[in-house]
Every structure is written in C-alpha cells, then in structure tokens.
Structure 1
Amino acid sequence: MTLRIGILGTRGIPNHYGGFEQFAEYLSTGLVAKGHEVFVYNSHNHAYQGNTWNNVQLIHCYDPEYQLGSFGQFIYDLNCILDARRRNFDVILMLGFTSSSAWGWFYPDQSTLIFNMDGLEWKRTKYSKPVQKFLLLAEKLAVRFSHYYIADSVVIQSYLKSKYAIASEHIPYGAEIHYNEEESLLQEFGVKKHEYFILMARMAAENNIEMILDGFHASNSNKKFLVVGSVDNKLGQHLVHKFRKDERIVFTGGIYNHPQKIHSLKIYSSLYFHGHSVGGTNPSLLEAMASRSLIAAHDNPFNRAVLQQDSFYFSSPNEVREIIENTYRNGREMAMVNNNLKKIQEQFNWDNVIKKYEDFIQRCVREKMYPASRFQTPEKQA
C-alpha cells in the first residue's frame, strides 16, 4: 500500500537542530525509498530552502519563533496543521505534542493521525510549575485527539497503558554505526586516547551534569573531563563559574556539523557519561553506543531499558567518583562496549526502525479504513 505521509513537529530537514529532526531525516528518506510519497514540514527560515531533499518533499511554513520565542512554536505548529488540512494525506505523523496538541480540533479528520509520544515532557525540571502543568495537559490532549500512538521506550509504553489505558506501539529510535574515527582530531582538545572523560548534552538540570562534575571534581583522577555543549544558558554559566578552578574540567562549547570529530571524541574517551534522566530512548545515548563508547549512565528506568547490564550506573556524585576511580578498560569493559554495539546492530538500526514504522503505519491505515479488522490475526479475520 503506497501512502501519502505528512511528517509534522520538527523544525525541518536536513537536520540543523536536534533529535527529532535527525529522526525525521532517516525516517522520511527511508519511507521514500520504500515507495511512499513523504512530505516534511520545515520552518520558513530553515537553512535549507529547497522544495525537495533526497526525494522527500518539503513544505515551508511561517515560523515566528525567532521573534516570539517558545510561543512562536505554537503558531508554527498551527500553520503546519492548517496546511496539512488541504493536502489529503493518508497519514499524519506528529513527532511530539508539546506545542501541537493544543490545536487538536484542527487536525484533518480524513487522515490517519499517529503521535510519537516523545518523553515525559512535563517532568522536565527546566520548566516552571505552570509550564509543567500545561505540558501534562498537552499530553492528555495528544492522547485524546490522536488515533494511534508510538512510544520510543518500553517505559513510555508502560506509562501510557497505566495512566491512560491506551495501547501504543513500541518503536525505538535508530543510530548509525561509524568507523571513521581519527585519533589526530583529539589534539585540538589537548587530550590523548583513553586519557579523558566526556559528556555531550544540553545544559539542563534533568541531564545531571552538575552531579557528574561534582563527582569528578571530588575524584583523584588526573585525566581531563570534556564537557561538550553550549554553556550560554543560566545553568551553563553556573557550571563554568563553579568549576573554574578545576583545570581538569574543559568546557568545549557546542560542536556542530562535525560528525567525525564527535565520533572520535566518543570512541577514544575513557568513559562517556550520559546523565539524561527524563524522556524515552535518548538518541545521544544510542549514538554513544554506536560509537563504541564505554558508558556510565544515570540510574533510571529509561537508561536501564536500553543499556541493561552493559553500563556503569550512578545516582549521586559519590557514585560518579567511585566509577571514575575504579574503572579500567579490560575484558569486562570491552564486553560491555561490544554488547552495546550488538544492540545497535540488531535492535536500534535504522533499517529495522523504518520497517517497523512502515508496518505500523500501514496497519493503522487499514484499520481506520476497515475498523472490524483491528489488528486481528488472519485466522480471526477468516
């Protein structure tokens, strides 16, 4: 069944921003390769102004976020939804719901509407209490208006079933395995192979960066710790000031559009710290696994669902310090790295993810057309 599919909820492709945009790149091109007609909505001021990209059709809609800040995202999503009403899509795939589900009454009735439910946005501590309440309402509206649901984590899937009594399809994100590391790229950062620790994250409280750096600061390690990410916000400036006297801690700023450099920093690190504690299957974690990093992760159900026993876990600065002072790259650690790489190859690879999306989308369209056949087995339909 060949479908017309509209993908909404991102700033657009090619990716110049984050996880959902990267995901939209892989999914849209993968679905086009399978014969579907795919449209991705882009901000009007996206860096790429073409009407197609790798055979994906792009629709540019006015996005006032650059003028209005976060509120502009609501206007952008509304503009995308109103445009989608005219397009006669078989399927509308909404990536996230934060600023779109408030316009649920405007979703086109004729299309099969599928939401990727993202993480538990209302739990993110970077938001004020009023904003957290709104995000919980937005989640409820997404549940109300969507026809079908996708959860990128088994934890999110369980949450949706428990809180809203709805079934969702578990389909994780994917990651691409790279083999183009270059040890000479480490020279720019003044570090050597396996002689530094690293984290790559946005400076947000729920990413536990301060906890990680507190633990490292208290350790007796003589290795450097590279903190990769923009420090322009309040938390970033606080961390730079707090650890200014620890010469081992290096704030590199963000590293953008240099995948070989990012991959090399990961693979040659002694330990890669992943502090994310809210959300589903985090793309940056999968990318660290695909880069063959040895990983220390914040101890929470989301990270354990992905890494299982193949990580060191921490939930306090003292546990971070103990990991730093007592971890060596020997047989056990190399087995953890290889096991995580195998997970990427078998479970979190893009071909597998795209096939699962295609299968689920087609099942949803068939069921919406023929409700009596709701995901029945062939025997029951006979």
Structure 2
Amino acid sequence: MKIAIIGTRGIPNNYGGFEQCAEYLALGLVKKGFEVIVYNSHNHAYQEKQWNGIQIEHCYDPENKLGTAGQFIYDLNCILNVRRQNCDIILQLGYTSSSIWNWLMPKKAIITTNMDGLEWKRTKYSQRVKRFLEFAESLAVKYSDHLISDSIGIKKYLENKYGAVSTYIAYGANLFQNNEDIVLKRYSLIPFNYDMLIARLEPENSIEIILDGVVKSYTTRPFLIIGNHNTKYGNYLKLKYSKHKQIQFLGSLYDIEILNNLRYYSNIYFHGHTVGGTNPSLLEAMASNSLICAHNNDFNRGILGEDALYFTNDADVAKHLINTKYEDCSFQSMLAKNRKKITDLYDWNIIVDQYIEHFSSIVNK
C-alpha cells in the first residue's frame, strides 16, 4: 500500500503537533512495510529526498514571503504533486488551507482527513476568518472519502453538525524513562522547584490567565514558558510580565529529550489549551510523569479524567502554585494512572496499528 501524508510543514518535526504525528506515523508505517511519502515545505531544514526509508517530496512554499496566503499555495503545490504519485491513500492532516483545493485530489486515491480541532472557534481569529474556517471545515467533510477524529468530542461534533461518521484515532506518545537532571543544569534549574507550560503563545491556550496566576501567587519559583514568543502576542506577554523575573520565556524547543526532561522535573506542568482534540503536548506531559494542572474543559477532562488538577481562572492557578508540591505522596496515584493511559491507549505503536486498521478497512471498502 502506498500512502501520502500531506498538510504539514514536513518531517523531521521542528514545528508542532501534526508534524510530530506525521513523523511518528510515517516511521511506524515504513517499519510495517508500507510505502510512504511525506510532503515537506521547500523551506524545511531537512533537504534530502529520503529520511529513514520515507520518501520526502519538497514543494514550493512562499509562506515566508506571503504569510498565511503562502500556505494555500503550498497546499496547492502538494496536491498537484500527489496527483502524479499513484497513491492508494492520501492522509490529509488538517484542512485549513487545503480543503479549497480538495476537488483537485486524484480520483483514484482514497482521501482520509484528520479533522484536527475546532479551528473556527480559536479566539485569535477575526469573525471573517472564523467564517472562512468553518466553510473550509465543511469542504473537508464534503470532499473527503473518510474522516478521522483525534478526540471523542470532535467525533460527536462532526456527527451532530454534519451527520458525518468518523474514525476515532488519538495522537500518540511514548513513555519517557531516560530522565537525566543534567538538562536542568543548562537552565540553572533545581528538580521539582520550577513550574512550566509548553504551548503556542495564543489566547486560547490560557497563557495570560496562567501567568496572571503566577503573579497573584507571589511564588518565586522559576516559571518556564516554552513556545515561540517572537510574535505580536508573545511580545505583548513579555512586556506585560517584564517586571516578574521568575517568568522566563525560553522560546521554541523541539528536542524531545530536553522537553521530556524539563517536564519530568517540573513541580506543576500547566496545560491551558481550550480548543481542539487530543493535544500532543498533553500526552507527552502524561508520559513524562508530570503533575498536570489543566484548563477545565471537556477536551482535557476526556483525556485526564480525575488524574489532574484543574483551573478556570487566575485565582485557581495561584491556589495550585501556593499549595501544590510534586513530591506530595497524594499525587503519586494520579501520575501512575496517567502513565498507564499512555501504555494502554496512546502508545505510538498502538496509534500506528489503529491507522493501519483504518487504512486497510477503507481500501477493502
């Protein structure tokens, strides 16, 4: 079976969740004997045509010159290229800038789309952009042969809004075990004496609520923010909290070993995402034995259940920062249950097998 993966900036991952999904999934599929093509931006740091047995197709991507409009051109170029590849299945990760071109997809290939989160609900977008994203979502449903939901919440949403059947397949994570506190020395950190978050610095990820809580708590422990802060919103946050030296903006980090060690040795790991399905960084925090304090919503509760702390406002954040110590034995059961969820439900080998089962079933149909 020949499978193409489109809709990401490419692999190896140095950007975000869908890129990570593409990387782990492609590696797993190749190991199981599948022929796999992954589409990369021509600006991607990796410029070779093969990576660990995966065929890499580089397509022209003018996003660095045109901004968001460049994403639409890049997706069009990927679709025009995949028309020549004679694939059995095209796995489309997301739909934001590709669904308007889906009518150009090759007719002989089966199109299955991972529908991501509810993009049109993100607060960073204007009403005009939100209307377009909702339209793009409807196009993805219309032109895809099959749909994948990465959370039960998204699956129910697609059923209720479009009457569309989708296959539930979550993101994956690997249980982290190679913890080394040598990573902490690089950042002058003491084990379990700092708190952190990893996220894109966007309003719907509750960054400001969390940092307001840090200020309100009067704690002096370092608070690490990992994510690209060289944006309009990032600059706003840096200016607002510039007088609070415990708040440290570390920028983007993609080395999974460094990230896992920082998560492993944190006191509290905050997860503020309010929109979307199963978030990769949340699963990785669970896999890294982190004590998680998550925004209280159905998406996060669907993954964590009762095995986390929750917040809805900055007062909740402050309360947890003041009263919570990772080494408190009352939290150990929560940590163990989250690790078990990773091994039983979200291990990448399990997720890859679920994708293979999905691909086999739709080809047989």
TM-score normalised per structure 1: 0.93
Which of 140, 144, 147 is the matching residue for 1:146? 144
Partners of 1:111 and 1:254 lie apart in 2 by: 36
Contact 1:181–1:261 under 8 Å retained in 2 = no
Partners of 1:158 and 1:6 lie apart in 2 by: 27
- For each residue in 1:47-96, what CA deviation from the matched residue of structure 2 results, as whole angstroms up to 9, or x when unmatched? 21211111111112111112211111111111111111222211111000
Aligned residue number for residue 251 of structure 1:
249
Aligned residue number for residue 317 of structure 2:
320
Which of 346, 352, 355 is the matching residue for 1:354? 352
**SS of equivalent to 1:190:** coil
One-letter amino acid of the structure 2 residue matched with residue 130 of structure 1: R
Aligned residue number for residue 297 of structure 1:
294
Which of 185, 199, 207 is the matching residue for 2:197? 199
- Deviation, structure 1 residue 109: 1.4
Aligned residue number for residue 5 of structure 2:
7
Partners of 1:192 and 1:14 lie apart in 2 by: 31
Partners of 1:145 and 1:7 lie apart in 2 by: 16
Partners of 1:67 and 1:251 lie apart in 2 by: 27
Contact 1:286–1:344 under 8 Å retained in 2 = yes
**SS of equivalent to 1:236:** helix
One-letter amino acid of the structure 2 residue matched with residue 287 of structure 1: E
- Deviation, structure 1 residue 189: 2.6
- For each residue in 1:349-382, what CA deviation from the matched residue of structure 2 results, as whole angstroms up to 9, or x when unmatched? 0110000000011101111xxxxxxxxxxxxxxx
Aligned residue number for residue 44 of structure 2:
46
Contact 1:51–1:58 under 8 Å retained in 2 = yes
Percent of aligned positions that are identical: 50
Partners of 1:288 and 1:159 lie apart in 2 by: 26
**SS of equivalent to 2:217:** coil
Aligned residue number for residue 307 of structure 1:
304
Aligned residue number for residue 375 of structure 1:
none
Would you say how many aligned residue pairs link Structure 1 and Structure 2? 364
- Deviation, structure 1 residue 185: 2.2
Contact 1:26–1:350 under 8 Å retained in 2 = yes
Tell me which moved more, 15-24 or 90-99.
15-24
- Deviation, structure 1 residue 175: 0.7
One-letter amino acid of the structure 2 residue matched with residue 322 of structure 1: K
- Deviation, structure 1 residue 332: 2.2
One-letter amino acid of the structure 1 residue matched with residue 238 of structure 2: V
1:105 and 2:103 aligned = yes
Which of 47, 51, 57 is the matching residue for 1:59? 57
Contact 1:7–1:40 under 8 Å retained in 2 = yes
Aligned residue number for residue 237 of structure 2:
239
Matches within 5 A, 1:1-382: 3-256=1-254, 258-328=255-325, 329-367=327-365
Partners of 1:254 and 1:109 lie apart in 2 by: 39
**SS of equivalent to 1:260:** helix
Tell me which moved more, 202-211 or 46-55.
46-55
Contact 1:113–1:148 under 8 Å retained in 2 = yes
Aligned residue number for residue 378 of structure 1:
none
**SS of equivalent to 2:37:** strand
- Deviation, structure 1 residue 294: 0.4
Partners of 2:289 and 2:35 lie apart in 1 by: 35
Partners of 1:202 and 1:228 lie apart in 2 by: 8
**SS of equivalent to 1:218:** helix
Partners of 1:261 and 1:38 lie apart in 2 by: 29
- Deviation, structure 1 residue 125: 1.1
One-letter amino acid of the structure 2 residue matched with residue 289 of structure 1: M
Partners of 1:154 and 1:90 lie apart in 2 by: 27
- Deviation, structure 1 residue 181: 2.0
**SS of equivalent to 1:365:** helix
Partners of 2:187 and 2:88 lie apart in 1 by: 49
Aligned residue number for residue 379 of structure 1:
none
**SS of equivalent to 1:78:** helix
One-letter amino acid of the structure 2 residue matched with residue 298 of structure 1: H
**Structure with greater Cα Rg:** 1
One-letter amino acid of the structure 2 residue matched with residue 278 of structure 1: V
RMSD after superposition: 1.2
- Deviation, structure 1 residue 233: 1.1
Partners of 2:109 and 2:168 lie apart in 1 by: 22
Tell me which moved more, 42-51 or 339-348.
42-51
Partners of 1:221 and 1:40 lie apart in 2 by: 45
Partners of 1:170 and 1:97 lie apart in 2 by: 17
**SS of equivalent to 2:346:** coil
- Deviation, structure 1 residue 160: 0.5
Partners of 1:57 and 1:81 lie apart in 2 by: 16
Contact 1:182–1:260 under 8 Å retained in 2 = no
